């Protein structure tokens, strides 16, 4: 039986290890028949991704903080695979020392860094994909956000502000790319133990609080988030654009 992503090629940006939400998304999409192409930031990250993905052809270096790197990566992807049907942007970064305490401790440099890597990079990759005619019509772009974009979550600080900018970027990109056949959405994933979450001060308290507020008392899983991502990449989601879809088992309700 064919899956909902049969014959589709999807670029996934942001896999760090097997606990990454990006990896959960990639696995769900592959189960639905997609060919997944993985980008990695540098040689150090390549080693981690290579342990999960054995096919060297599907690994492409791409530093989203560098426009030339994005262009080079997308040219390589198009040369190897032709046009693709979607992109999953699962990239965010902030200085660890600025993910604790008061927002007043955030530096100008740290603020700009978080915005550049966590929010502007979505616009940068969408722009490059358009310029290089990488995306099919129809195509889907999905990014990952978190409830800290709306509420002042303890210690999330500058990343919460960056996620708010990311969600605004989703809306503007959806408006401007819709005529190109590209829909853009965000998944607001519930808190779970990933490499990114462990960078937040007192992250264990955040994970506990999140689990206590789910509707069934159980934490969200990679498979559950990945399933929503697979749906957004599929043609079943053609009517959804510019939305933030919560996959947190109801935590945002409370």
Can 120 be counted among the known catalytic residues?
Answer: no
Tokens 């722009």 -> residue: 127
Question: 38, 40, 93, 146: which is the annotated catalytic residue?
Answer: 146
Q: Which of 120, 156, 172, 246 is catalytic?
A: 156
One-character DSSP codes across the chain = ---TTTT-EEEEE---STT-HHHHHHHHHHHTTPEEEEEESSHHHHHHHHHH---GGGEEE--TT-HHHHHHHHHHHHHHH-SEEEEEE------GGGSSS-GGG--HHHHHHHHIIIIIHHHHHHHHHHHTT-EEEEEEEEEEE-GGGTS--TTTHHHHHHHHHHHHHHHHHHHHHGGGTEEEEEEEEPP---TTGGGSTTHHHHHHHHHHHSTTS----HHHHHHHHHHHHSGGGTT--S-EEEESTTGGG-
How far is it, in rounded angstroms, from Cα 203 to Cα 139?
A: 35
Please identify every residue annotated as catalytic.
146, 156
């Amino acid at each position: 039986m064919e899956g909902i992503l049969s014959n589709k090629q999807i670029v996934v940006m942001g896999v760090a290890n097997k606990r990454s939400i990006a990896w959960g998304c990639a696995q769900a999409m592959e189960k639905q028949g997609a060919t997944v192409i993985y980008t990695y930031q540098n040689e150090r990250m390549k080693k981690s991704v290579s342990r999960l993905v054995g096919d060297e052809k599907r690994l492409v270096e791409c530093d989203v903080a560098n426009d030339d790197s994005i262009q080079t990566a997308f040219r390589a992807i198009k040369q190897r695979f032709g046009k693709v049907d979607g992109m999953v942007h699962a990239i965010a970064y902030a200085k660890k020392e600025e993910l604790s305490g008061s927002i007043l401790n955030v530096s100008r440099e740290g603020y700009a860094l978080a915005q550049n890597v966590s929010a502007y990079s979505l616009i940068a990759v969408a722009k490059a994909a358009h310029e290089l005619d990488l995306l099919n019509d129809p195509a889907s772009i999905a990014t990952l956000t978190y409830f800290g974009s709306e509420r002042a979550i303890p210690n999330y600080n500058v990343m919460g502000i960056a996620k708010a900018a990311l969600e605004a970027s989703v809306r503007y990109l959806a408006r401007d790319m819709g005529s190109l056949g590209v829909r853009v959405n965000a998944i607001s994933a519930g808190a779970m133990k990933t490499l990114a979450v462990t960078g937040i001060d007192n992250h264990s308290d955040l994970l506990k609080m999140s689990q206590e507020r789910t509707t069934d008392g159980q934490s969200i899983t990679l498979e559950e988030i990945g399933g929503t991502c697979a749906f957004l990449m599929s043609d079943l989601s053609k009517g959804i654009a510019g939305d933030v879809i919560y996959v947190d088992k109801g935590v945002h309700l409370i």
